[in-house]
Amino acid sequence: MASVFVLLLSIAISFTVVRVGAVALELTGMSWEHAKFEALSAFTNSGFTTRDSEAITRHPARRRIASILIVLGNAGLVAVIGSFASSLVTPQPLERLVNIGMIIGGIALLVWVGHARWVGRRLKRTVKQWLDARYNLSEWSPHDLLHLDEGFALTRIVIPADSPALGRRLAELRLKDHLVQILAVERGEEFRPIPRGEDRLMANDSLVVFGRASAIEHLFEPDETEVLEVSETSQPIERDPLQGEW
């Protein structure tokens, strides 16, 4: 009988840990549905896709959260397997059936409680307040802010002599219609941030461009393209109240 209660308690704790992890991941900028999936994947050690893995590993706060979930998930798995096996090891067939019935009933009750909206909302609100009061997890990853994994790119390109954009006014290129923004232009020793619509591009101009990767290639047909890395500086920390013209 005691092993059945240990099993149900282990499952309940596991559910709570996954929910806490999901709320923590949401505070880093993930959507709620994505955060729930990632928390469950880490806790069960079921792995991530390449894109999901990058979203976790490149963000210091998410890496720490995922690491904690993986460790707790291994411990939880051992506790569940051990208590489940103990509940079935009994010489009395009737007691074994009672244990199985209690396990099924207990899991059904936990599932019902877990899917109750009022329980989920209250638990999420409580956990979010607790985490937000102690850790700074709300800093968003630059990759998330710029959607660099969704077809957008931050690149440095060099305008070739046969580029279709050569000699044309930037306004003529209708960059906004293509979801492209030139952030800066370098020409020799000159540096021009946020060029104007009447400015023209010349061969060997070096551009820092943000926008749709396919549109950048189509508009400029560059010979050289360099994907720029965005530094990651956010990490969970304890809150401390002391702490030219052309």
For the chain, the straight-line distance linking the first and the last C-alpha, in angstroms and rounded, comes to: 83
Dist CA 198 CA 168 (whole Å): 9
- The band of 235, judged by pLDDT with boundaries at 50, 70 and 90, is very low
As its CATH architecture, domain 151-227 has: 2-Layer Sandwich (3.30)
Average pLDDT, the chain: 77
pLDDT for 86 equals 72
> Tokens 């244990």 label which residue?
99
Going 123 to 128 to 129 to 131, the CA torsion angle's sign is: positive
Half-sphere exposure of 122 (CA within 13 A, CB side): 7
| Residue of 246 and 208 predicted with greater confidence | 208
Strand (E) positions, the chain? 152-158, 180-187, 190-193, 206-212, 224-227
Strand partners for 180: 211
Write down the H helix ranges in 174-225. 213-220
Dist CA 221 CA 168 (whole Å): 14
Q: List the one residue out of 222, 90, 200, 94 whose CA is nearest residue 155.
A: 222
Percent of the chain beyond pLDDT 90? 20
- In the chain, ranges of CATH 3.30.70.1450 domains: 151-227
pTM: 0.51
Strand partners for 184: 193, 208
> Tokens 């720490």 label which residue?
64
Least confident of 29-43, 144-158, 187-201: 144-158
pLDDT for 229 equals 53
Write out the two tokens for 122. Answer: 């209250």
pLDDT for 23 equals 84
DSSP one-letter code for 141: P
- Out of 18-27, 66-75, 171-180, give the one with best mean pLDDT: 171-180
List the Cα angle 181/184/187 in 5-degree steps. Answer: 130
pLDDT for 113 equals 74
Three-state secondary structure call for residue 184? strand
